[in-house]
Structure formats: structure tokens, C-alpha cells
Amino acid sequence: MTGTRVVCAGDQFISGALLASRVSGAIDGVTTVRTDSRWPSEPFDDGDGVREAAGDPGELAALVAGADALVTHLAPVTAEVLEAGKGTLRVVGVTRGGPVNVDLAAATRAGVPVVHLPGRNLGAVAEYCVGTMICAMRGLPVAAAELAAGRWDGTGFRFDRVGLELRAATVGLVGLGAVGLRVAELLAAFGAHVLAHDPYAAPEEAARVGARLVTLDELLAGSDVVSLHARLTAETRRIIDAAALAAMRPGALLVNTARGELVDPAALDAALASGHLRGAVLDVFDPEPPAPGDPLPARPQVFATPHLAGASRQVAEESAARIATEVAAVLRGRRPAHCANPEALPTA
């Protein structure tokens, strides 16, 4: 495909240089144009029909004019950008599970397929979940903070304060998609008993990873750890509310790496303040970043991180390689593995 021109719009996680190197390896004779936003040093933004985007649409539009493809992680692929590529742009590749930084309606109107990578960071997120479960159940974040403050708290060895090992724990997974399945696989290696609630889960997949499908009520009442892996929908918004938290075992742990909107934050704060829950691991919030004065990140029982569960070198490197393969497939007239608007794919 000599003469093919691909714009590689990266950032400080998946750089334009990394995208360009993988595109050059997947497409012979390609010419790449690179640009980078300053995310995550500067936050992403919403607007012009896109969400969680980083970069200047006007600058991107100037680069896309005359290009055959655009490959990006977070660049704002707005209607303006797609219009600039009119007549030449044949595919947009996004190294994310959900291409929310693309105006899909505008892309479909322009006849430009948008390929993406569902489950691209499932390994990183699953390892984060299991690692932080272990830390939080054993009280390690609080102990580390105490020691950093100059206090040696030997009472962490008291029987009434020590936590469970995973091999003795029942872990409930709310959502058994790609990430939930991988978490279940890792938990099985530790010997944990795994429950799962997901109305759309295939029973054979649950059985494969050793998870027993149950109702949400059964899961909440029967789990030492409840870990959230559900998509955000009208049905799942605030699925963990005051009633759900009250139904959890006293001393249980809540882990949320999915979406902040799945949890009622005021109800969670109350459950932690009362001592009903042992603690919480929160990598996502509503809103993000947390509002000034949000009490949850400051609570000693909360292991809070700024949406980092999916951050690893493997995610960056493998995502760049996979999206280059997907974009190359479309340019060669083949069907990609994952297209957000398949109606825009060529029919011939």
C-alpha cells in the first residue's frame, strides 16, 4: 500500500511515535504523521460530540486532510476532523475499549468505519483488582500510611483486626464480561470461592472460570469482597446503593474499577463511617476527578487511585500493535475484528 498516509495522534501514555512504529510494521510503504497531546499531564475534555478526548480538533483536522487513516488513543475525532478527511479518510482506529472520543454519528455519515479494542486493558485491570483486594483485606494501606507518618502500629496483628487470605474468601463479581472473567481466573489460582451476578453471562463461561452465577442479593449477602465489573447502563447506575450496601456482609470490602456511577458515594461513605464495611478500593469516581471535599478518597479505609487500573506498559504496547493490525485490515478491504459502526464498512 505504497503512498498510504496515516496520522498517528498519541499522548504521554500511547505516543504518536509508538503508534507510528506499529503502523509502519503493519503497512508496507506507509507514511506516518505524528502528533501528541499532553494527556495525562493535562486532563481530557468533553465537547463537540466527543467525550474523554485530549488535543486540539483544529490542529488534528489540518493533519487529517488528505490522510487515508487516523490512529489514536484519545484525540478528539469530531465532525470537523472527519469533514477535513472527506474524500480520503478510510478508517479511524482507536486504542480503547469504547471509542467515546469519536463522534460516531458523524463518522457513520462520512462512511468512515471506527475500529477499536474491547478488553484491551483487561489483564492490567484484573491484576489491579486482585492485588488491591489482598492489600485492602489485610489492612496494608492503613498500616503503610501510619508508618509513613512515623507511627509503628503493631496492633495490626490483633485477631480482631487481621483480614482474610483470598483462599479463605468468597469474592462476588458484579459483571462477568472480559475483565470479570479474567479476575475470576486469577482468583481461582488463589483458591478463592467466586460468585458472579450477570444476567447476560453464558453459564458455560462462568463454569470455565469456576464462578457460580447467583442473584445480586445472594452475591451481596454471601461475599467477603464485592468487585464491580458491570457496564454503566440505566439498569446498573447506582446498582450499589444504600440498600445494596446494607445487604453486604459486615466487614466486607467493596472494589470498584468499572465506573464511579455504579455506586452511590454518599451511601458508601455512610457504610464506611458506621464500620459496616471494612473498606473500599476505588479507582473510579463520580465525577472524575472527585469533587473538592469528597470524603471518600481521604478515608483511611479507602484505597483510592486516580483511574490507574488499566495503566501498564503492556497495555500501551499491545494496544498500538493491535490497532495497527485492525487499521491495516480495513485498508486492505478486509473486515476488522471490532468495528463500532459496521454499517460504515465497505460492502464489497
* C-alpha span between 138 and 124 (Å, rounded): 21
User: Grid coordinates 493490525 are at which residue?
Assistant: 325
Asked whether 226 and 174 are in contact (CB, 8 A), the reply is yes
DSSP state of 122: H
List 34, 197, 229, 259, catalytic entry: 259
Closest to 307 measured CA to CA, from 323, 292, 324, 290: 290
The alpha carbons of the chain give a radius of gyration, in whole angstroms, of 22
For the record, the C-alpha cell of 162 comes out as 487481621
pLDDT tens by residue, 261-306 = 999 999 999 999 999 999 999 999 999 899 999 999 999 999 999 9
**pLDDT of the residue at 346:** 86
259 flagged as catalytic: yes
**pLDDT of the residue at 1:** 62
Closest to 99 measured CA to CA, from 83, 90, 86, 112: 112
307 flagged as catalytic: yes
For the record, the C-alpha cell of 337 comes out as 475484528
List 127, 288, 317, 318, catalytic entry: 288
DSSP state of 68: S
Domains with residue ranges and CATH for the chain: 5-120+312-344 (3.40.50.720), 122-304 (3.40.50.720)
**Beta strands at 45-47 and 50-53: parallel, antiparallel or unpaired:** antiparallel
- The DSSP-derived string for 145-203 is HHHHTT---GGGGSTTT----GGG-EEEEE--SHHHHHHHHHHHHHT-EEEEE-TT--H
What residues of the chain score a pLDDT lower than 70? Answer: 1-2, 348
pLDDT tens by residue, 179-230 = 999 999 999 999 999 999 999 999 999 999 999 999 999 999 999 999 999 9
List 51, 161, 238, 307, catalytic entry: 307
**Omega before 40 cis (within 30°)?**
yes
* C-alpha span between 48 and 316 (Å, rounded): 26
73 flagged as catalytic: no
**Omega before 295 cis (within 30°)?**
no
Q: How many residues does the chain have?
A: 348
Asked whether 318 and 337 are in contact (CB, 8 A), the reply is no
Q: What is the CB-side half-sphere exposure of residue 118 using CA atoms within 13 A?
A: 8
- Other CB atoms within 10 A of residue 163 CB: 20
